[in-house]
Amino acid sequence: MTDTPRRRPPLPTTAGTLKLKPRTAAPATHSADADPAPAKRGGGNDWRKRSKASYPDQANAEAPRRTRADDARPPRAGDDRPQRPYGDKPRGFGERPPRRDDDRPARPYGERSVDDRGPHRDAERPATERPPRHERKPWTGEPRTAPQPSPLRDDGSIRLSKRMTELGLCSRREADEYIEKGWVRVDGRVVSELGSRVHPGQLVELDRRGQTAQERRVTILLNKPVGYVSGQAEDGYQPASVLIAAENRWAEDPSETRYLNSHHRGLAPAGRLDIDSIGLLVFTQDGRVARALIGDDSSIEKEYHVRVEGTLSDEGLKLLNHGLSLDGEALRPAKVSWLNEDQLRFVLREGKKRQIRRMCELVGLKVVGLKRVRIGRVMLGHLPPGQWRYLGADEVF
């Protein structure tokens, strides 16, 4: 048993059975003396707007056919609209009003005829032609005024954060942080407004609090094993940063820095190693170190020991040193020599994606092992695979 009420069966009519609920039929005559129709939800006499399906007796009746005599019928009383002839259309139905050339204002940039709309119109335009769209105002069409150069950029000044990066005080992100905290002085005056500009000759100093914050930032050296990616996790492989834990710290680490969980905050890899490569990988919180290692103007050497298969000619060895191009760009000169009978020693000053492997492919060699042993003046040394240590205070890349 359900609580659904039973539907009312349809009522039979003379013309058939309808599935619509019958309504009260409209009165045959509607005079002023008759009672007005009851007000409906829409208000007024809604029976005029109903379709014939609203009345069961008229559901299947055909509408009377309109004839010419109906159109010639005189207008009803109270209708003062003029009668239109048969077949006449109201004005504006598919027609355009006549043009009034005398009322139309003159165009500011000259009149064009229909013949000027072809591909040759550019050669026939008058001298007062419109300027390009990006050089005129959107509504009036008047030419825009030429932009005036900013006086702040013409006086030789640069942003304070960029100047601090050029001086090697910190990175751009760290500079903005120190400026907001009021830790930066320009010619002895504290500057705490972002976007401030200075001249190259002005003295920029970092407050002692900023220097202390810089000293607290750590740099970690990791011997990355095979199977870990340098950056974010991808394709089911873990990032190498998961190895930086207290239990993986090298027992012979000469640094006396105490391990803290805060050392993971802002720690990022400065460089990369392929998932199949091993060796020295640098993680740092210091923007100065990151800029020195992976900046566009970085010139720090990186040394690799590469195990290869195949035959290398003298001409191929010369190409590895200088003469190869990757991605349409010529590579910087490198130092490539034989380390032993199956290993090459690479010293590079740049680090394109899979650069060494792609260089070896261009000369007919296949790389079967790659290890980075040095970055600048910092050596991998005896650091075991999968372990890490802090960069010493006396070590500089």
Give a three-class secondary structure readout of 94-110: CCCCCCCCCCCCCCCCC
What share of the chain has pLDDT > 90, as a percent?
A: 45
Name which residue leads in pLDDT, 2 or 386: 386
Query: Helix and strand tally (H, E) in the chain?
Result: 9, 18
For residue 381, pLDDT beyond 70:
yes
Name which residue leads in pLDDT, 169 or 74: 169
* Mean pLDDT value across residues 83-111: 56
For residue 213, pLDDT beyond 70:
yes
CB atoms within 10 A of CB 192: 12
Angle (CA) 94-100-103 rounded to 5° is 135
Active-site positions read 274
The pair of three-digit structure tokens given for residue 142, joined into one six-digit string: 């008047």
Name which residue leads in pLDDT, 48 or 136: 136
The pair of three-digit structure tokens given for residue 282, joined into one six-digit string: 């640098």
8 Å CB contact between 263 and 218: yes
Q: Global pTM?
A: 0.58
Name which residue leads in pLDDT, 193 or 88: 193
Predicted pLDDT at 122: 47
Q: For the ranges 33-37, 95-99, 103-107, 302-306, which has the lowest average pLDDT?
A: 33-37
In sequence order, the 6+-apart residues with CB closer than 8 A to the CB of 281 are 221, 222, 223, 224, 230, 240, 269, 271, 272, 273, 372
Length reported for the chain: 397
Angle (CA) 222-226-227 rounded to 5° is 105
Tell me whether strands 335-340 and 343-348 are parallel, antiparallel or unpaired.
antiparallel
* Mean pLDDT value across residues 281-292: 91
Predicted pLDDT at 130: 67
Q: Detail the DSSP E strand segments found in the chain.
A: 12-13, 16-17, 158-159, 184-186, 189-190, 197-198, 204-206, 219-224, 268-269, 278-284, 302-309, 325-326, 329-330, 335-340, 343-348, 366-375, 378-379, 388-390
Confidence of residue 62 (pLDDT cuts 50, 70, 90): low
* Mean pLDDT value across residues 217-246: 92
Stretch (H or E) spanning 215: helix 208-216
Confidence of residue 348 (pLDDT cuts 50, 70, 90): very high
Q: For the ranges 148-152, 186-190, 205-209, which has the lowest average pLDDT?
A: 148-152
